[in-house]
Structure 1
Amino acid sequence: MILVREGLPEQYRNLPNEQLFDGILEQLIQQTLLADLIGETDSREIRLTLENDRRLMKASQAVEELSAQAIGEDEIAASYDARYADADMGMEYDASHILVETEEAAVNLIDKLQAGADFVELAKEFSTGPSGPGGGALGWFGLGMMVPPFEAAIVAMEKGAISSPVKTDFGWHVIKLNDTRAISAPALGEVRSEIIAELQRTAIEGQIEELRQQATINRTPVDDIGVAVISQSELMSE
């Protein structure tokens, strides 16, 4: 009954035992009655299925035991350092833009800015983009978050600079680069579970490789059986 309950979908496993008990018991009774029709001799399909299930369950148990092995703090710290100590996390950019329909309109805006006009006020008045009412502010973003022409212009700019007109599928942009900052590595606590999972995965892969080297594995050449054999379910009953 325990195994049947564990195999239920989560929404049923969460039901009170009082609600589940009778249903599980009745299921087992019905299964036993039906199984008696087959008798004690298992078919080839049943034998192969049991063999496969047994192998899968033992492999799963081995993975659980390997995953449960304690991973030391020194190992976690070393893995974190290997990931992030010398890693270039890239840059983030804080920019604003004014989006207009024509290059001429973009040039006119640049002329106004060079004459001392306020970027925020021009964005509110002329930008056709959704950021216009907010003065064109886009906030902080990293590489890959903007369309390539816009991103290329941003990367080439100095902090505080105004771009030349930039053409994208959305129209023409006048961009102001407000600030830049290096992306900081995440704190160890933020990636701790991820690092532990990676160390566990590496340990399991290492154990499998060690077992592989020790084992004698006989592979039937594919040409001898053909890849189509995996879909020939009728072989299960032969």
Structure 2
Amino acid sequence: MLSFSRVSVALVVALAVSAPVFAQDDLSRDTVLARVNGTEITLGHLLTARDALPDQFRAMPADALFTPLMEQLIEQTAIMQEAEGTLSAREQIALENEQRAFIANAALTRAAEAALTEENVTEAYTAFVTEFDGREPTPEFNASHIIVETEEQALELKAMLDDGADFAELAREHSVDGAAEGGGSLGWFGLGAMIPEFEEAVQALEVGDYMGPLETRFGWHLVLLNDTRMSSAPPLEEVREALEQNIQREAAQAELNRATEAATIERAYEDLDTSILTRSDLLDD
């Protein structure tokens, strides 16, 4: 079945004229903007259609988007009225599935959004910290490196460090990886986060010391250990997004479980041959 885009670029360009002027204070979602054979198209319909557009269209100025979007709603209403009652069995069933999915998704979204309160986030973070603190503390390292292509280059840079050159400046000037811009800083990392050769190097260093050249599959490294610490729970803002996603996911699942458990369900498919799933020809008229 063909699928027509909500708003085409050509339509926007062709109909990009100034939007009509309304008394803004008198408007509501029920304000009628057009009628097609008596069927009303309201401001609510227009706003919902706009919210469903892809990002590149939602970013367009309102005066360029208003008329094309209204004309699309008018055209859709006209063709819908003519086509009403003519859907094939396949199309009618697809419509029922889409309606089912839309309503279910709306209900789950409401449940998820309602659960996203600061109180719930704080409670989730407290539980997270309690669980984190109950684990065995592990060492974490803050290190920097300079990586070059040859051992000769690494030895030259090592000599410069021995003569008092600044590690970060040398990294910015000579290192060939993405950390160079930040003076070679790799930030904090725990055991298992780095390749074995690098991990062994930082564990052997004292804070403030450097070593190298160290060869790995990425090249030749000079490694500086900036600091060490034992693992601790990250601050709330570092894990807020993950906690919020988990809260919403659990709330949606709880709502799904509640509705399913409250429903009277009769399953009549247990003995059905699963190969029936390939019989899409049954949808044909």
TM superposition score normalised by structure 1 = 0.67
CA 1:178–1:82: 2 relative to 1, 3 Å: same
CA 1:176–1:51: 2 relative to 1, 3 Å: closer
AA matched with 1:5: A
CA 1:174–1:201: 2 relative to 1, 3 Å: closer
CA 1:151–1:8: 2 relative to 1, 3 Å: same
Partner of 2:90: 45
Partner of residue 280 from structure 2, selected from 230, 233, 237: 233
Partner of residue 138 from structure 1, selected from 160, 184, 191: 184
CA 1:180–1:138: 2 relative to 1, 3 Å: farther
Partner of 1:101: 150
Instruction: For residue 220 of structure 1, give the secondary structure of its aligned residue in structure 2.
Output: coil
Q: How is 1:149-164 mapped onto 2 (pairs within 5 angstroms)? A: 149-163=197-211
**Aligned partners of 1:225 and 1:149: how far apart in 2?**
52
**Aligned partners of 1:166 and 1:222: how far apart in 2?**
64
Shift of 1:29: 1.6
AA matched with 2:126: D
Partner of residue 57 from structure 1, selected from 84, 87, 102: 102
Partner of 1:91: 140
Instruction: For residue 69 of structure 1, give the secondary structure of its aligned residue in structure 2.
Output: helix
> Which deviations, in whole Å up to 9, do the C-alpha atoms of 1:161-186 show, x marking residues without a partner?
34364221344434332333567755
Partner of residue 226 from structure 2, selected from 178, 198, 207: 178
Shift of 1:209: 2.6
CA 1:50–1:90: 2 relative to 1, 3 Å: farther
Instruction: For residue 273 of structure 2, give the secondary structure of its aligned residue in structure 1.
Output: helix
AA matched with 2:253: E
**1:165 and 1:173 in contact (8 A); partners too:** yes
Partner of residue 78 from structure 2, selected from 29, 37, 44: 29
CA 1:66–1:163: 2 relative to 1, 3 Å: same
Instruction: For residue 160 of structure 1, give the secondary structure of its aligned residue in structure 2.
Output: coil
Say whether 1:168 aligns with 2:219: no
> Which deviations, in whole Å up to 9, do the C-alpha atoms of 1:201-235 show, x marking residues without a partner?
10221232344445535162487131x725x4332
Partner of residue 111 from structure 2, selected from 58, 66, 73: 66
Identity between Structure 1 and Structure 2 (%) = 27
CA RMSD of aligned residues (A): 4.2
> Which deviations, in whole Å up to 9, do the C-alpha atoms of 1:139-196 show, x marking residues without a partner?
2423377544223312332213343642213444343323335677554355445433
**1:159 and 1:178 in contact (8 A); partners too:** yes
CA 1:89–1:220: 2 relative to 1, 3 Å: farther
Higher RCO (C-alpha 8 Å, min separation 6): 1
TM superposition score normalised by structure 2 = 0.58
Moved more, 156-165 or 94-103: 94-103
The number of residue pairs the alignment matches comes to 223
AA matched with 2:71: D
Say whether 1:202 aligns with 2:250: yes
Q: How is 1:9-28 mapped onto 2 (pairs within 5 angstroms)? A: 9-12=54-57, 15-16=62-63, 17-28=66-77
CA 1:54–1:30: 2 relative to 1, 3 Å: closer
Ranges in structure 2 where 5+ consecutive residues have no aligned partner: 1-40
**2:146 and 2:221 in contact (8 A); partners too:** yes
